[in-house]
Amino acid sequence: MKTYRIASVPGDGIGVDVTVEARKVLDRAAGKFGFSLSWTEFDWSCERYTRTGSMMPDDGVEQLSAFDAILLGAVGFPGVPDHVSLWGLLIPVRRAFAQYVNLRPVRLLPGTTSVLAGRKAEELEMVIVRENSEGEYSAIGGRHNTGQPSEFVLQESVFTRVGVERIIRYAFELARTREGRVCSATKSNGLIHSMPFWDEIFAEVAAEFPEVHSEQCHVDALAARMVQAPERLDVVVASNLFGDILSDLAAAITGGLGMAPSGNINPSGEHPSMFEAVHGSAPDIAGQGIANPVAQILAAAMMLEHLGETVAAQAIRAAVDRTLGDRTAVTPDLGGTATTARLGSVVADQLA
Ligand code: NAI
Ligand code: MG
């Protein structure tokens, strides 16, 4: 029997609650589909930071490198500044493992009320390919003349030819397996150095894929289009910042953050990939047992798909669809009264 070694990093807040449920569903799927999962749990979190002064040990990345995949909850909690929690755990892992693709599938799930109510699932199905290793999220810059009237900050963006080209190529290759359409998010009218460079490389790569329809759209207009005409979008490729914002919007139009999964993919397979929900640690509802675990369960299904367990991944998605479709157990964000644990258990039962 095939065994996968999985590192689980539940992190903070509801990251812990939803990871328990994802693990419940995965273990059930493993039993049913003939593979096994060997879990190792890490307590890396803001709580650890408060205790020891660091989010993870110095050799944290090295420890994770031994695993086939990583399932991450969420990191960040009031009391620890967000840049500390993010740069102390999430960003170093994404970068050390060259997880340069942040893949965010968007799908209108059954039983969900969207601001786009009346749309059918097939009209609202796209995937956002977000650049995950450079771009606007850079540590280059600084704060100067602190406390003076002339105080200013510089926050630089970094766009490399290698980085831009590989994410765009990934998007085109993915489009070939889907509807064959790629839309690039740009803003070359405002960001006059980085985005024209991005656009130029997009055009070069597009020329290599004549069978894929390509277009570019300013990110603000694209945000509007995502709401008004989502049926015209299939694969959306975007820089780190633009992809981050567009995917929260995409989550909002498909019923909320509680439903949106994401994968940090190392396409070469040289390093482990990491799977997580799009949402954060939701301190406003943490510890109440009411977080929606669907995003994390679907992230776990993406992990199985990545490991090659396609049938089990598909079964988990179908179990989620059935559970939400007949509304047997839905959490308060979806207008129900079920707890996190009950929704997780019903999805697991639907597998059997
Ligand atoms: P958030 O995603 O944690 O919460 C935003 C809103 O959505 C809240 O009202 C929350 O209750 C609701 N929500 C989120 N997930 C939900 C779920 N599964 N079920 C029901 N409701 C849900 O974003 P926020 O509040 O901006 O950030 C909170 C903390 O999380 C911060 O420290 C932030 O840095 C961190 N964060 C971490 C991320 C990660 O680990 N990848 C991503 C985003 C934020
Ligand atoms: Mg985000």
Pocket of ligand 1 (CB under 6 A): 14, 18, 74-77, 82, 90, 257-258, 276, 279-285, 291-292, 295, 333
pLDDT tens readout for residues 201-258: 999 999 999 999 999 999 999 999 999 999 999 999 999 999 999 998 998 888 889 9
What pTM does this model have? 0.92
Report DSSP letters for 239-255, one per residue: -HHHHHHHHHHHHHHTT
pLDDT for 110 equals 85
- CA–CA separation, 245 vs 223, rounded Å? 9
Which band of pLDDT confidence, cut at 50, 70 and 90, is reported for residue 343? very high
pLDDT tens readout for residues 40-82: 999 999 999 999 999 999 999 999 999 999 999 999 999 999 9
Residues 6+ apart with CB under 8 A from 122: none
Which band of pLDDT confidence, cut at 50, 70 and 90, is reported for residue 347? very high
**pLDDT of 164 above 90:** yes
What sign does the CA torsion over 87, 202, 279, 296 have? negative
Residue nearest atom 38 in ligand 1 by C-alpha distance: 280
- CA–CA separation, 344 vs 352, rounded Å? 13
Which band of pLDDT confidence, cut at 50, 70 and 90, is reported for residue 101? very high
Among 14-28, 112-126, 321-335, top mean pLDDT goes to: 14-28
Residues 6+ apart with CB under 8 A from 162: none
Residue nearest atom 17 in ligand 1 by C-alpha distance: 258
Q: Pocket of ligand 1, candidates 241, 245, 247, 279: which has the most ligand atoms within 8 Å of its Cβ, to mutate?
A: 279
pLDDT for 256 equals 84
**pLDDT of 269 above 90:** yes
Angle (CA) 288-292-298 rounded to 5° is 145
Q: Give all domains of the chain, ordered by start, each with its CATH number.
A: 1-99+257-352 (3.40.718.10), 125-253 (3.40.718.10)
Which band of pLDDT confidence, cut at 50, 70 and 90, is reported for residue 17? very high
pLDDT for 121 equals 77
Nearest ligand by distance to the CA of 264: 1
Nearest ligand by distance to the CA of 285: 1
Mean pLDDT of 331-339: 95
**pLDDT of 350 above 90:** yes
Residue whose structure tokens are 């102390």: 88
Q: What percent of the chain has pLDDT over 70?
A: 100
Q: CA separation (Å) from 304 to 104, 260, 307, 317, 335?
A: 15, 16, 5, 11, 29
Residue nearest atom 26 in ligand 1 by C-alpha distance: 280
**Helix, strand, or coil here: 16?**
helix
Going by their DSSP bridges, the two strands 181-186 and 213-218 should be labelled as: parallel
Q: How far is the CA of 282 from the centre of ligand 1 (A)?
A: 4
Nearest ligand by distance to the CA of 77: 1
Residue nearest atom 5 in ligand 1 by C-alpha distance: 282
pLDDT for 43 equals 97
pLDDT for 120 equals 80
pLDDT for 115 equals 78
CA dihedral 192, 246, 23, 306 (to 10 degrees): -60
pLDDT for 237 equals 98
Q: How far is the CA of 352 from the centre of ligand 2 (A)?
A: 33
Q: What percent of the chain has pLDDT over 90?
A: 90
Burial of 275 (0-12, 13-18, 19+ CB in 10 A): buried
**pLDDT of 200 above 90:** yes
**pLDDT of 114 above 80:** no
Mean pLDDT of 100-125: 86
Question: What is the pLDDT of the chain when averaged over all its residues?
Answer: 95
> What are all long-range contacts of 306-315, with beta carbons under 8 Å and residues at least 24 apart?
306/69, 306/263, 306/265, 306/273, 306/275, 307/4, 307/68, 307/69, 309/29, 309/33, 309/35, 311/33, 312/29, 312/30, 312/32, 312/33, 312/35, 315/29, 315/32, 315/33, 315/351
- CA–CA separation, 2 vs 342, rounded Å? 29
Which band of pLDDT confidence, cut at 50, 70 and 90, is reported for residue 193? very high
**Taking every pair of C-alpha atoms in the chain, what is the biggest distance, in angstroms?**
67
**pLDDT of 117 above 80:** no
pLDDT tens readout for residues 280-299: 999 999 999 999 999 999 99
Q: CA separation (Å) from 197 to 70, 149, 326?
A: 33, 35, 48
